[in-house]
Structure 1
Amino acid sequence: MNVPRKFLPSISSLRALEALDRLGSASAAAEELALTQGAVSRQLQTLERQLGMALVQRDQKRLMLTSEAQDYAAEIRQALNQIVQSTLRLQAAPLAGTLNLAILPAFGMRWLMPRLPEFSRLHPDVTINMSTRLEPFNFGSELFDAAIHFGDASWPGTDSLLLKHEQLLPVCAPQLLAGRLISEPKEILKLPLLHIQTRTMAWRDWFGQHGVATSGDLSGTIYDQFATITQAALHGLGVALMPDYLVEQDLATGRLVALHPEPVETEGAYYLVWPERKSTAPALKKFRRWLAGKAQPEDPLPR
């Protein structure tokens, strides 16, 4: 990457700018950076000369950033944090295999977590760092080695492993029914419906698969995560269309009841997705080979 030097200021100058913006005073910035206030001021002057613009308002001995410099510092802060995280990962990698994994919160908690102790026993040399992400993202801007996500595995520049198809059940708390029996899918339309933000067409598709015509919008409250919609269903706020693996325990204990005897498979599925350029990473290869044995149709672990 051949970039003119004026667009790549020194890390020292950028750290001085970021610290002054965050801490609000040159003395606090100097203390954090183990410099004198004069050195901080000189770093900022160097940056101003390099960029060809004023960044600091100097009022006697007080230094304040211009509004433009404050916006610049906020963006630089993200870049500096990314450098720190990348350095930590690089330093940790020779000591043990490290896998940085993005997961969906509900699937990660209920499906992946119960299986991970086995992986840890088989591969104690691999450390898995996990962060939750609800939506697909760009691997170029997020420093993950792989992600477990729902969809059709159509991310560009990636490979994937199918883990599990999603099967949905309509469920609600027993008290919502008040003794009423639901014998046909169309009768569910008389009850309040709960919607999940990431599956906006789920109810319409489910009714369509059961020959129930729906017109207009299906009203009801919307939730952004399965954890919250599950709680809404448990407290009798409505009927939720839930993945079967998420409600098995609540159905077994009677906290929820199923309003249809069989789950219905959806078009989407859960996949392990990784960038093609990371395919040969040792930690990812170990995790991928192990996870392949847990993927559909092999799924022996009770949930």
Structure 2
Amino acid sequence: MIAPRRFLPSIASLRALEALDRLGSASAVAEELALTQSAVSRQLQTLETQMGVALIQRSRKRLTLTPAAQDYVAEIRPALHQIAQASMRLQVPQVGGALNLAILPAFGMRWLMPRLPEFARLHPEVIINMSTRLHPFAFANEPFDAAIHFGTGDWPGTDRMLLKFEQMLPVCAPSLWQGRTTGDPRALLSMPLLHIQTRPRAWQEWFALKGVASTGPVPGTVYDQFSAIIQAALHGLGVALLPDYLAEQDLASGRLVAPCGPPVEMQGAYYLVWPQEKATHGPLSLFRTWLATQAQPEDLLPR
């Protein structure tokens, strides 16, 4: 017999609670679930009313989970993942199996997507289900077989394959650079610089590689996604330090210029990462073997 309804909350309210535990803010939950913050709040209030237990601590417009709610989420999270995977298998015919892949938005769109038609041609029997994630996560808490992460390759309990080293260059709108000396990195110190949230020390590292002394954090405007920082650069709001694969189209069209020469290799790289227990998963093995033909060699010289 199925449990009484009061013990079976809606999937929507459970997803809101789980996402709040994982993301830490109502605004992030709203963005991931494509809801308004007020809708997220209503989902959580409905769940509290149905359970008859305080689940949310509200302080200065910030929402956090009570200890009881944290324990509850730890128990229901695997069930939510199991439901999602079962529903996916039910809805999509999977003759050759499916690969559930997490991707970084910018890298996935600009680097991976243009290459995927070849994989689809070689392995039409494999279905790739993709979701975007901006930061590394624990595979135990997410329904993924593999992910594309950025970092130094040190994620416990996983294996990884290098895809591409990070190579970055400053770019800006042509109008912003008029009258300045091309090739002089010191000229950037007097210009508005655009920062990406996931690379807080990128400008400092770039200036150091160019031999320009820096006395501390480099001031500038911070953006949370590359798509936003690219638009800011295109509209002349400042100089953005971008990975080469993101800048190449706008540089080729003349919408952006690179005033300080070619890209330089920075710390960090893009990796395909998978939990060790998934290493022999059929679709992942096919995808990994094919992706190795697209990846940058690990022993490039010089480095």
TM-score class normalised by the smaller sequence: 0.7 to 0.9
Superposition pairs for residues 27-106 of structure 1, below 5 Å? 65-68=51-54, 75=73, 80-89=79-88, 95-106=95-106
Greater displacement, 155-164 / 86-95: 86-95
Find the aligned partners of 2:160 and 2:11 in 1 and give their Cα distance: 44
After TM superposition, the structure 1 = structure 2 runs for residues 1-303 of structure 1, keeping only pairs within 5 Å, are 12-13=3-4, 16-19=7-10, 65-68=51-54, 75=73, 80-89=79-88, 95-297=95-297
Matching residue's letter, 2:84 = Q
Q: Distance in 2 between matches of 1:15 and 1:252?
A: 60
* Partner SS state of residue 240, structure 2: strand
Give the unaligned 5+ runs of structure 2.
14-46, 57-67, 299-303
Kindly provide the CA deviation profile for residues 182-225 of structure 1, in whole angstroms up to 9, marking residues without a partner as x: 34111111111000111111100110011100113211000111
Compared CA separation, residues 218 and 101, structure 1 to 2 (3 A): same
Query: How far apart are residue 97 of structure 1 and its match?
Result: 1.1
1:79, 1:291 → 2: CA distance? 29
In structure 2, what is the Cα distance between the partners aligned to 1:179 and 1:142?
A: 51
Contact in 1 for aligned 2:6/2:51 (Cα 8 Å): no
Aligned counterparts of 1:106 and 1:282: Cα–Cα separation in 2 = 27
CA separation in 2, counterparts of 1:210 and 1:268?
18
What is the DSSP-based 3-state SS (H/G/I as helix, E as strand, rest coil) of the residue aligned with 2:139? coil
Residues 253 and 152 of structure 1: CA distance in aligned 2, closer, same or farther (over 3 Å): same
Question: Aligned Cα RMSD in Å?
Answer: 2.9
Provide the residue aligned with 2:63 in structure 1: none
Give me the TM-score of the superposition, normalised by structure 2.
Answer: 0.75
1:289 partner SS: helix
Deviation readout 1:124-145 (Å, 9 max, x if unpaired)? 1100000111111001111110
Which amino acid in the other structure matches residue 66 of structure 1?
G
State the 1:84 CA deviation: 1.3
Q: Deviations over 1:64-95 (max 9, x none)?
A: 65243798698477565323113235556863
Q: Is the 8 A contact 1:18 1:77 kept in 2?
A: no
CA distance in 2, matches of 1:162, 1:95: 29
Are 2:81 and 2:142, in contact at CA under 8 Å, matched by a contact in 1? Answer: no
Bigger Rg over Cα: 1
Give per-residue Cα distances to partners, 1:244-265, cap 9 Å, x unaligned.
1111110011100001112100
The secondary structure found in structure 2 opposite 1:12 is coil
Quote the Cα distance in structure 2 between the aligned partners of 1:255 and 1:165. 25
TM-score by length of 1: 0.75
**Does the CA-based 8 Å contact 1:21-1:65 persist in structure 2?**
no
Q: Secondary structure at the match of 2:54?
A: helix
Alpha-carbon distance in structure 2 between the residues aligned to 1:11 and 1:229: 50
Given residue 12 of structure 1, which amino acid in structure 2 is its aligned partner? A
Secondary structure of the residue aligned to 1:258 is coil
Contact 1:162 1:272 in 2 (8 A): yes
> What's 1:28 paired with?
none
* Change in 2 beyond 3 A, CA 1:249/1:190: same
Counterpart of 1:187 in structure 2: which amino acid?
A
SS at match of 1:68: coil
Give the counterpart letter for 2:52 in structure 1: T
Whole-Å separation in 2 of the counterparts to 1:78 and 1:158: 20
Deviations 1:14-71 (CA, angstroms, capped at 9, x unpaired): 675414996xxxxxxxxxxxxxxxxxxxxxxxxxxxxxxxxx99xxxxx965243798
SS at match of 1:194: strand
